[in-house]
Structure 1
Amino acid sequence: MSNPLEFPWLSVLVLLPLLAAFGIPLIPQSRWVRWYALAVGAFDLGLMVYVFARHYDLQDFSLQLAERYAWVPQIGFHWSLAVDGLSFPLVLLSGLITTLSIVAAWNLSHKPRLFFFLLLLMYGAQVGVFLAQDMLLFFLMWEIELVPVYLLISIWGGPKRQYAATKFILY
């Protein structure tokens, strides 16, 4: 195996969908937004599969592919990511389910730009939650994830979507 520390794989897995979400307003036609979101989701999922197949050792139960960068050192805030035997399947499952969700929402006609923006934002934050090794980073990713999920439920949910979204936030 090559040295996985040569490239910040986990940071790319988290930041790719987060940053790609902000490219959605630049897409000239709404019908292309679906393809853009699918390309980002599929690419990130493919990258996950590649990184874990190439650099993750299933026999080693310790933290792997660890990255740690001082972000706000004055308060001890670090961009610290790693993957272990518990987070490994959760990250892959998040990638698979979110990519399938993009396909499942293909015919969505109500505010598709906002929907796919929120979905990509949620995707990146969800992966960040599972990979975070710093409590402040975990909290930040969790909070970033809550906002898109709340909006997805409250705008595109079923008949009692406002009630469900409120319950989601409360719990």
Structure 2
Amino acid sequence: MPDLVIAQRHTAHLDRVAEALRQVHEADRYPMVWPDDPVAWLCPAGTIGAWVALADGVVVGHVMLVAADGVEHVDQLAAAARASVAGLAGVSRLFVTPKARGIRVATALLERIEDSPVRRGRRLVLDVVDDGGPAVRLYERLGWTRVAEGPAGWTGPDGAHPPVASYLCPR
């Protein structure tokens, strides 16, 4: 098993993170639509913090926290958490390169953000394409609670609104 380090993402990481994202997109179509500027896509407004997973110095994963107002079904998530939307933080842009799967990289990234000082007591929430795939299975295996589901507020490459599920972190 390679030496895995979870580190705060810095500007110097962004080109390598974009390359890792390209590998994920080619393997899994995540994101569904390749962004015109992948570095900008990795740095959206409302970013609270971002981390990379490094295996022997190579970027193999990424996760970030964002303001929760961009998470699908945020009002239902806030009600389930008994918190205001400002009392939530959204997990976003979580991905692991195909070659690094099966060594708990995504779990390590999620554990890091759960313990992050920038979380500042906010309850974590997220949305995910509800396709029954590995991401859905990961969140459910880790005890995240499905709160809501329905069509996304955005469209995929076919112009349709894919189904999404929104989850609340158990801690």
TM norm structure 2 = 0.31
Which structure: larger Rg?
1
Structure with a larger share of its residues in strand:
2
Q: Which has the higher contact order (CA 8 A, sep 6+)?
A: 1
TM norm structure 1 = 0.31
